[in-house]
Structure 1
Amino acid sequence: MKTEGVYDVAIIGGGVCGSAIAYNLAKAGVKVALLEKGGICSGTTGTNPGFCVLTYREDPIVMEMALRQRLEWNALAEDLKIDLEYVETGGLIPISNHRELDVLDHVAGNCRQWGLKEVALVTPERAVQQERALDPSQIIGALYCPWEGKINPFNLTIGMANMARQLGAEIFIEDEVIAMEVNGHEVKALETSQRKIKADLFVCAAGAWTADVAAQAGVDLPVLYERGEAMVSIPLPPLIRGMVTDGQLFAVGENPPDRVIGACLGQTVTGNIVIAQATTDVDNYDCSSTLDGPREVAQRVLKLFPKLDDLEILRMWGGIIAYTPDRAPLFGFPENRKNLLAVVGFHSAIGIAPVLGKMVSDIFSTGSAAYDVSAYSPLRFRSAEIR
């Protein structure tokens, strides 16, 4: 027999966004349930390299969120009573040709317009001062931001989930939502194989699985996904100072190849070098790792960082990354489901998730939030309608 529970808010998804939402709601005294079909941080968040990016944020709203979060990492670590391993190392985007330069010059202009003044196009010689393993002969310049950093995505996500639990939230893992009960314009309850949960607000923060979850409430949300492949080395002495994102990823164009390759690197506090990524469109939530993807990434890495030629790889993995047809986030309520809030599609959400969590908490408690995210409403897609 299924157990039944009644909550103020039920959250579907135990990644960094779902955990941040649970933590902020529980901190505000809201009765919360979080449901995750696997384990906390077992999905996309667990495959994330932990880059807290600023330079390539989607728009001024998300940039403002990221700049705010940058100032709050230390306070959050104190609240969670955990070392988030946040380090502000600076970020570098190596530029290999003039096509990339044109695109990234535009990116830099957007950054300055949106409030990130500490960003600059620099010479190859200055780029090597930031990343001494970089071969300056392979680039014509780089985009540099001193404020970018890295964080441990596991410590962040599990830390927020654990603190949410301590504050009274109930967290159910390995408990997949299989049905939703709808009455009129509202979701009344969700069901798993083990329980039935009623709530005033249902938050879908299920990443690439958001469309499947929303479909159980009769809603068609245009959430797509792709696979990103990455790998990690054995622990090494310091070699990569900050976070590196390949400039060629910004010049892919409107007709990308079947597999998009870029050299993205960062070294953890334990010395492991995380290397990404090969990105491919896939079906059926295929997050398996291939041989060709990491091989092509390694070739690109060695072109820019030849000093890593004897790097020993510890493991490889793939992860599923959610996005929308216009590559902008989804945040809001679909038509005729006024209590089903979708939160998905934020690029590099690891660097803004706590702010998103606070925003959901404020919306539930006061009906408003610190940011105008109306542009992210599912209503911008005509397909986001009741079937």
Structure 2
Amino acid sequence: MLTGHSSGSPDLIVVGAGVVGAACAYYTVRAGLHVTVIDRGPVAGGTTGAGEGNLLVSDKEPGPELELALLSARLWHELAAELPARIEYEAKGGVVVASTEPGLAALRNFAAGQTRAGVEAVEVPADRLSELEPHLAPGLAGGFHYPQDAQVQPALAAAHLLRAAADTGRLTLRLGEEVTAVLTGPRGEVRGVRTRRGEVRAPHVLNAAGTWGGRLARLAGVDLPVLPRRGFVLVTEPLPRVVRHKVYSADYVADVASDSAALQTSAVVEGTPAGPVLIGASRERVGFDRTLSVEALRRLAAQAVALFPALATVRAIRTYAGFRPYLPDHLPAIGPDPRAPGLLHACGHEGAGIGLAPATGAMIAAMLTGRELPVSAQPFGPGRFALPRATPTSESGVESGAGSGVRRPPRTTSIHDV
């Protein structure tokens, strides 16, 4: 537990300036700690910058992730009012639709469990769907409206969380610095990190490196099985508000929970304040291969048009790819690592990192200051992946070799004409 500040060094080093790292910095600074955030690239230069900004409860079954999502939904609403600049927060709600009666029955059963867990889910019969979404395709069996679903612009959110933390005078932001080693003591306890510009000492290091969280963990001599799960997003030309909510088919829920490494696509369609419509979501585990998948884009376009026929004549002006940080049990790793005292993790959120960021930050802040946790930390404990510790590291740290550390491929927001 940290209760004060040692002059000349931070209380906490956060590795990663995406939205999860930014939220952790924001809440730990608010708790009175001095924090240094380090990232090899710019703010939101990885998965965050390639995200749609989904803040969803609708796709989560009852359990620990849904608890975290409900807490985050409340915190995002508060942050939208607290942050001094717009983060394009829209409490737009979500609409999940089924094309068949059996599909609607499955949605009904899923929503019943969510309702018991505190989610607002309202069944919408087929003849009322057009009241929510006038341009939806006819012939759908029905759906559910989720008023708690929302959206932010993720890169803006990360930037303004860090700016608000910096305004306290307790945050130092170090961009363009690659972490090459985690400094440890004789018993494996973490004592800081090394970058190309020198050492930064702190009693705690937080791994918020997203898809590269497994690589950072290995620098500390522990295993965290984070894998990249690639996805593409199609962006249309600016339009009038054709899509009012976040709309997706029931297949999306199954894809989110799937362990398959193969290509899966299930259209998630949403408008934005600026006018373009965003169309996701695809999933496949292909490592860090960023090769454009024409098949994935073709499927997404066809599924989006099946939901909204009016999109058939709309131009897609660009696409971008991102890598979701996937853990095998589909839950993030949040909290201290029992194998390396002083090391904490906040990564592995897969496609839900933007939505779950505030709750993750609030939990990390509570852990470091000894305050009551807002939700149980046990399901997210990094120790659930414990393997025998690697060879103990020395005070000088573990130097990274080729492809290790938090070296990243080029920024995930490469744009291609389609």
Shared fold by TM > 0.5? yes
Deviation at 1:385, TM superposition (A): 4.1
For 2:180 and 2:152, how far apart are their aligned partners in 1?
33
Q: 1:328 aligned to 2:292?
A: no
* 2-structure distance, mates of 1:231, 1:59: 30
SS in structure 1 of the partner of residue 97 of structure 2: strand
CA distance in 1, matches of 2:282, 2:77: 32
Q: Does the alignment pair 1:355 with 2:356?
A: no
CA distance in 2, matches of 1:21, 1:356: 7
8 Å contact 1:249–1:260 — kept in the other structure?
Answer: no
Task: Tell whether the 8 Å contact from 2:237 to 2:316 is kept in structure 1 after alignment.
Answer: yes
Counterpart in the other structure of 2:382:
378
Task: Report if aligned partners of 2:65, 2:331 keep a CA contact under 8 Å in 1.
Answer: no
Range moving further from structure 2, 128-137 or 208-217? 128-137
1:199-348 equivalences under 5 Å are: 199-251=202-254, 256=260, 258-283=262-287, 285-346=288-349, 347-348=351-352
Alignment of 1:69-218 (within 5 A): 69-98=72-101, 100-116=103-119, 118-137=120-139, 139-168=140-169, 169-183=171-185, 184-218=187-221
- Separation in structure 1 between the aligned mates of residue 205 and residue 259 of structure 2, nearest angstrom: 37
Q: What is the CA–CA distance in structure 2 between the aligned matches of 1:247 and 1:373, rounded to whole Å?
A: 29
**Greater Cα offset, 96-105 or 298-307:** 96-105
Relative to structure 1, the CA distance from residue 140 to residue 9 in structure 2 (aligned partners, 3 Å threshold; closer, same or farther) is: same
- What is the rounded CA distance, in whole Å, between the counterparts of 2:55 and 2:258 in structure 1? 26
Distance verdict in 2 for CA 1:268–1:304, change over 3 Å: same
Unaligned 5+ runs, structure 2 = 1-7, 392-418
Q: Counterparts in 2 of 1:11-22, with a 5 A limit?
A: 11-22=14-25
Counterpart residue type for residue 17 of structure 1: V
CA contact (8 A) 2:231 2:284 kept: yes
Structure 1 Cα separation of the partners of residues 235 and 195 of structure 2: 35
CA–CA separation in structure 2 for the residues paired with 1:74 and 1:115: 17
Q: Secondary structure at the match of 1:162?
A: helix
Are the aligned partners of 1:221 and 1:384 in contact in 2 as well (CA < 8 Å)?
Answer: no
Superposed displacement of residue 254, structure 1: 5.9
How far did 1:313 drift? 1.6
1: CA distance, partners of 2:360 / 2:105: 32
Stretches of structure 1 lacking an aligned partner (at least 5 in a row): none
TM-score, length of structure 2 as denominator length: 0.85
CA contact (8 A) 1:96 1:248 kept: no
CA distance in 2, matches of 1:167, 1:374: 31
Amino acid of the residue matched to residue 13 of structure 2?
A
**Residue type at the aligned position of 2:303:** R
- The CA distance in 1 between the partners of 2:166 and 2:64, in whole Å, is 30
Residue 28 of structure 1 and its aligned partner are, at CA, apart by 2.5
Instruction: Give the TM-score normalised by the residue count of structure 1.
Output: 0.92
Alignment CA distance shift 1:123-1:33 (3 Å): same
- The RMSD of aligned alpha carbons is 2.1
SS across alignment from 1:276? strand
Letter of the aligned partner of 2:57 in structure 1? L
CA contact (8 A) 1:289 1:316 kept: no
In 2, the alpha carbon distance for the partners of 1:98 and 1:383 equals 46
**Deviation per CA, 1:113-161, whole angstroms, max 9, x where unpaired?**
2111x20332222222211111122x22212212222222122111001
Encode CA deviations 1:61-97: one digit per residue, 9 max, x unaligned: 4433433443444542343201122222220112123
**1:131–1:242 Cα contact (<8 Å) kept:** yes
In 2, distance between residues paired with 1:267 and 1:355?
Answer: 26
State the identity as a percent.
28
Greater mean alpha carbon deviation, residues 67-76 or residues 19-28: 67-76
Q: Please, which moves more after superposition, 23-32 or 199-208?
A: 23-32
Kindly tell me the number of residue pairs found equivalent between the two proteins: 380
Q: Which amino acid aligns with 2:269?
A: L
Q: 1:171 Cα shift? A: 0.7
Amino acid at match of 2:383: L
Contact 1:263–1:297 at 8 Å: present in 2 too? yes
Aligned AA (2:274): T
Shift of 1:105: 2.9
Name the amino acid aligned to 1:244: V
* SS of equivalent residue, structure 1 residue 179: strand
Q: Deviations over 1:257-309 (max 9, x none)?
A: 721011101111111111112211112x2334322211111011112211111
Alignment map for 1:20-31 (pairs within 5 Å): 20-31=23-34
In the TM superposition, what is the alpha-carbon distance from 1:251 to its structure 2 partner?
4.0
The offset of 1:199, in angstroms, is 0.7
Instruction: Give CA-to-partner distance per residue, 1:313-350, whole Å, 9 cap, x none.
Output: 22101000012111122112333212111112235222
Amino acid of the structure 2 residue aligned with 1:35: I
Determine helix, strand or coil for the equivalent of 1:136.
Answer: coil
Counterpart of 2:340, as a letter, is: R
